[in-house]
Amino acid sequence: MLDETADRMRSDGRRLGAARRQVIEALSARTAPVSAEELAEELPTIHVSSIYRSLAVLEEIGVVRHVHLTHGAALYELADETPDSQYLVCDVCGRDIAAPAALFDKLRQVIEKDYGFVLQGGHFALPGHCIDCDPASISRPHPHAR
């Protein structure tokens, strides 16, 4: 991952500096998207402005992407970790589910054809509630029920 990113940056005339390297390492240790502030707390030796800059550069070259799970700040993750996912987030318990973006292909086609609009999926989570928070509203059997 790091070598690959270093190569990508070099071919772009940039360097993978210490801050950027540490940001990538911190992101790859995570299983869920994280805010720049949380990263700054985790990496106290790097100035917060440097973390923001690193995230911006890494996002520009496609190594990092950000999503908004709630009304809050952007949350960052490695772009390769969850390729083309659409987050679903529960309004009640805050739990998030990464669904494959391909599930929405049909909807995307209809919106494009009928409304002349290209939907940019993935950037914002789709709100709703999970089966645990409102089981009665979901018609299929509970996935954890046996």
Residues in contact with Zn ion by the rule CB under 5 A? 74, 90, 92-93, 130, 133
Amino acid identity, position 94: G
Question: Smallest distance, Å, CB 139 to Zn ion?
Answer: 17
Nearer to Zn ion, 48 or 138 (CB): 138
Amino acid identity, position 11: S
Nearer to Zn ion, 16 or 86 (CB): 86
Nearer to Zn ion, 16 or 33 (CB): 33
Nearer to Zn ion, 46 or 90 (CB): 90
Nearer to Zn ion, 104 or 124 (CB): 124
Residue found under tokens 């659409």: 86
Question: Smallest distance, Å, CB 33 to Zn ion?
Answer: 11
CA distances from 81 to 16, 27, 65, 84, 111 (A): 19, 10, 10, 9, 28
